[in-house]
Amino acid sequence: MKAAVLNGFGGPEVFQILERPDLIPNSFEVLIEVKAAGVNRPDVFQRKGNYPAPAGVVSDIPGLEVSGVISSVGFEVKKFKIGDEVIALLAGGGYASQTTAHESVCLHKPKNLTFEEAASLPETIFTVWHNLFERGKLVSTDHVLIHGGTGGIGSTAIQLAKLFGATVYTTVGSLEKAKIAKELGADLVINYKTEDFSEILMDKKVDLILDSIGGSYFNKHISLLREEGRLIQINATEGAKVELNLFKLMQKRIYLTGSTLRARDISFKAELADAIETNVLPIIEQGKYKTLLTKIFPLEQVIEAHHYFEDAESYGKIVLKINS
């Protein structure tokens, strides 16, 4: 198989395109001939040496989400057969022409999507469903704040929150991105480069916040949330160490939680996949959800793809096209 392999840690130039031995699935796995693989921020963190793969997972090939066609199945596999078109959530190894995945973290590819569009789904859909709906317990009457409204997570969270009836506030970094966030369904879009979101939202109801920033945003969130509000942390790009006034937390009875997805066990991911199959895939197949796929690179241009991903002007999802 062909793969984009990390030759050390650092900038995008550490990638090399190499050949590796073909893979063989174990008894509960499927072998996927990968058509496309999504590029995500955890891939960048791994490339820089800040987010190692979990034990037992290939450590030098990033990639957490793929689409493709099953070419082989383990003898215990019940859900899929050879020839099925699937999407899969991985713990690593997606930047390759082949990958293996436990059958429970695979889903049938929505028929109305291309392989490239479908490859942009698993990481963001799994993350958003678990954090916004399962941990955050979003309901239709909620007013929710989502940062980075045109990123992969943000664009997914806006759409799913709106499709389930919530009022959505979001932050973006340009007028162009503000327009895109509005088109995705956001009710109020704030340009964080020219406006302070905490001042604009101070007189509004905020029940739930999905945050990937941390740092100075943390206490602004605590101040914004109404009583019984929920703050869900999924990253901390501005800093993980914050100060918290516990009396504010107690007085408002705020729920503070967070999670990471990559290292969770298969049984957890299997339950999450079942919930997504029931609650999210039908929405996608009905055409109610828009994949914000903005750039496709061939696998051989993985270096250019990572440079583009880290450009402040980029938005939406970026995908590597692998097998034609």
118-146 residue pLDDT tens = 999 999 999 999 999 999 999 999 999 99
pTM of structure: 0.94
Q: What percent of the chain has pLDDT over 70?
A: 100
- Using DSSP, state whether 177 is helix, strand or coil: helix
Give the pLDDT of residue 312: 86
Give the pLDDT of residue 311: 92
Domain ranges of the chain: 2-121+262-321, 125-258
Please check whether residue 227 is in contact with residue 124, taking contact to mean a CB–CB distance below 8 angstroms.
Answer: no
Cα distance between residue 263 and residue 283, in whole Å? 28
Nearest-5° Cα angle at 316, 293 to 209: 135
Among residues 287, 278, 292, 271, the alpha carbon closest in space to that of 130 is found at 271
**Other Cβ atoms closer than 10 A to 303:** 17
Please check whether residue 70 is in contact with residue 88, taking contact to mean a CB–CB distance below 8 angstroms.
Answer: no
| Residues paired with 106 in a beta bridge | 88
* pLDDT tens-place string over residues 211-229: 999 999 999 999 999 999 9
* pLDDT tens-place string over residues 273-290: 999 999 999 999 999 999
Is the pLDDT reported for residue 323 higher than 90?
no
| Residues paired with 100 in a beta bridge | 31
Q: For 57-77, b where at least 16 C-beta lie within 10 A, e where not — what string?
A: ebebbbbbbbbbbbbbbbeeb
Written out in words, the top-level CATH class of the domain with range 125-258 is alpha beta
* pLDDT tens-place string over residues 53-107: 888 888 899 999 999 999 999 999 999 999 999 999 999 999 999 999 999 999 9
Cα distance between residue 263 and residue 2, in whole Å? 25
Written out in words, the top-level CATH class of the domain with range 2-121+262-321 is alpha beta
Averaged pLDDT for residues 300-311: 97
- Residue count of the chain, please give it: 324
* pLDDT tens-place string over residues 287-298: 999 999 999 999
**Other Cβ atoms closer than 10 A to 272:** 21
Give the pLDDT of residue 271: 97
Among residues 323, 314, 313, 312, the alpha carbon closest in space to that of 295 is found at 314
Give the chain's mean pLDDT: 96
* pLDDT tens-place string over residues 218-272: 999 999 999 999 999 999 888 999 999 999 999 999 999 999 998 899 999 999 9
Among residues 113, 20, 45, 21, the alpha carbon closest in space to that of 260 is found at 45
